[in-house]
Amino acid sequence: MQSWDLVRANLTSPMVLAFVMGLLATWLRSDLRLPAELYTVLSFYLLFSLGLKGGEELVHTPFLMVWKPALATLGLGVTVPLLAYFLLRRLGKQSVTDAAAIAAHYGSVSVVTFSAAQTMLTMGGFKPEGFLPALVALLEAPAIIVALGLARLRTGRANGEGVREALRDLLTGKSIFALVGGLLIGVICGPEGVKPVTVFFFDPFKGALTLFLLELGMVTARRLRDLRSASRFLWIYAILGPILHGSVGVLLGTSVGLSVGGSAVLGSMAASASYIAAPAAVRVALPDANPGYYLGMSLGITFPFNLTLGIPLYAALSLYLHGGHG
């Protein structure tokens, strides 16, 4: 069956295996360490390269092809956090602050999940549309704004000053900045202008992603411990949530005309939970929310789930919705 093939190809890719190696390094208490500086450099590199590639492709994409997916993405950025907040409050009995904090994470997007999805779909023969990185930039902020707004409405706790600071920081935040910076440079330079730097920014991308995932594996393993005190509902939501949000993403992507690969990647974006932009914003605006919950869920459970099983699942759904063919 085709989706099993995807799962298998996925699980035996260097990227996923490097992530597992990182997990093991921490669990087996190896003294293997990669410096935090490498993490910083690689995450900038991945974001900037993604942006550059996206920008370069955006140049020769007709606007007509982009506006519907862009609207769909903004729609996801508003719907998913509301959905997540509602479920976490009603079914999960979480406090307003914790529910809003978690909703902000699930509404936003993980760039590494996006990269992994794009790489895997391309390797599986379903090349997604080239302008998707632009959508990532659109999906990052809105959910966080919606969730912080919600918390502010429901309590006085997310005090104005904190929220305002968090929003300002958000729009100049490093991940948006790197991605949008790359995008703009890609758009301005165009394919010809970008060519001299492709050896540096495009060719080693998959290898750099592999190395980054190894380091992320070590970080993830440490983060899982923070979930000890979390209720069982949160553990479950960290897996069923993504499936739900991801399905909405795939559906929406398909309905606005994205290809099999494109819809699957949009699904993966919707399913993914932010662990760079959202935590920084939430920590400032909602200091009473428990970081152990929101980071533990998004980095400790949802990220590995998406990386291994989630992406193939959204790909299978996308394939099915497109009538079983690329």
Partner 1 sequence: MNLVELKRITIISEALLEERLLADIRRLGARGYTVTEVRGEGSRGVRASEWEGNNIKIETIVAPEIALTILAWLSERYFVSYAVIAYQETVEVVRGEKYV
Instruction: Judge contact between 23 and 217, C-beta under 8 A.
Output: yes
Minimum CB separation of residue 17 from its own copies in Å reads 5
Taking the least distance from each CB to its own copies, the nearer of 90 and 195 is: 195
Return the amino acid letter for 315: A
Give the binding range for its own copies (CB under 8 A) out of 57-65, 203-211, 262-270, 281-289.
Answer: 203-211
Considering beta carbons, is residue 45 or 85 the nearer one to its own copies?
45
Q: Where does this chain bind partner 1 (CB under 8 A)?
A: 36, 39, 216, 219, 222-223, 226, 275-276, 279-280, 282-284, 287-288, 290-292, 295, 299
Q: How far is the CB of 198 from Na ion (least distance, A)?
A: 30
Cβ proximity to its own copies: between 14 and 149 the closer is: 14
- Indicate which single residue of 200, 225, 231, 324 sits in contact with its own copies (rule: CB under 8 A): 200
Q: Which positions from 160 to 189 touch its own copies by CB under 8 A, shown as an x/- string?
A: ---------x--xxx--xx--x--xx--xx
CB nearer to partner 1: pick between 120 and 282: 282
Cβ neighbours for 67, distance < 8 A, ≥ 6 positions apart: none
Query: Of the two residues 83 and 183, which places its CB atom closer to its own copies in the complex?
Result: 183
Distance of CA 24 to the CA centre of its chain: 23
CB of 83 to partner 1, least distance (A): 23
Q: Which of 1, 28, 62, 232 binds its own copies (CB under 8 A)?
A: 28
Q: Does 60 bind its own copies (CB under 8 A)?
A: no
196 binds, among Na ion, its own copies, partner 1, none (CB under 5 to 8 A by kind): its own copies
Span from 37-45, 68-76, 93-101, 249-257 in contact with its own copies (CB under 8 A): 37-45
200, amino acid identity: F
Residues at the contact surface with Na ion, assessed by CB under 5 A: 109, 270, 272
Residues at the contact surface with its own copies, assessed by CB under 8 A: 12-14, 17-18, 21, 24-25, 28-35, 37-38, 40-41, 44-45, 52, 119, 123, 169, 172-174, 177-178, 181, 184-185, 188-189, 193-194, 196-201, 203-204, 206-208, 210-211, 280
